[in-house]
Structure 1
Amino acid sequence: MPRRKSSSDDPCPVARSVDVIGDRWSLLIVRDAFDGVRRFGDFQRSLGVARNILSDRLHQLVEAGILATRPASDGTAYKEYVLTEQGERLFPVVVALRQWGEHHLFAQGEPHSRLVDRKTGKPIPFMAPRADNGDELAPGEAEVRKLT
């Protein structure tokens, strides 16, 4: 299958972001990295993805600066994949996807994993864009100012 055209010259931040993390496996790798997964074999067990696809996506995420490799913390010859500062900035994206999925893809009362505050054990509050005054912004209250 041919690779799609790169969006690296596209003036739209969404297009450029999707170019880097917009496929299923890349997002799930990032999700697992937030959950503490670090090694190739652990990503593979968690995701059930083919080795060649996992290798490709890990390479792309390292090249994009989202993950970095380092020697394994246990001193073995393995390497670990860790989120960079840039990768950690994807946390709100992952939380927003999770919250959207919780709201729209599960029946009321259907069990699913929960994201909670480690200190309190309480669910993370719903995320929403906010105006300067703190009010929640609806989609019609924001606009994209395109380049001319």
Structure 2
Amino acid sequence: MIYKAVMGICAGLLLTGCAEDFGLDQHGRKVTADSLDSQWLIINYWAEWCAPCRTEIPELNALEDELKTRSARVLGVNFDGLQGEDLKRAAQAFDIRFTVLADDPAPRFELPRNDVLPVTYIVDADGKLRERLVGEQTAAGLLAHLQRLRGE
């Protein structure tokens, strides 16, 4: 009986440690799986050459502020795959205040490839893609999509 309980606890501990981290952000800090798991994610792809991306970023900054108490986060991904100092410089130039992932999370969430920018994906708390939005978004529009999908 005790043996089974100990084995169950050990298995649970091993499984909780299996979630792979998300890599680094635009500041070179590790983005842990614990910090994002069980949250809804608004994942936005952007590029320096994308004019609508430039006007969308302030909306995403405002949305990130709005979501702090709602178990949801905004994440950015540079479409051109910038890394390190190049990513940091671009994120600063755009005044991005939400987390920008250096590693593309598309494989993790099975996001379809997209060749049009900007594009935003909404991923639920279980890691399932719920919506793909092409084109410039607003904070109010994204919040409405999120509330509808969550049944709020």
TM-score (norm 2): 0.29
Whichever of the two has the greater Rg, that structure is 1
Higher relative contact order (CA 8 A, sep 6+): 2
TM-score (norm 1): 0.29
Q: Which structure has greater strand proportion?
A: 2
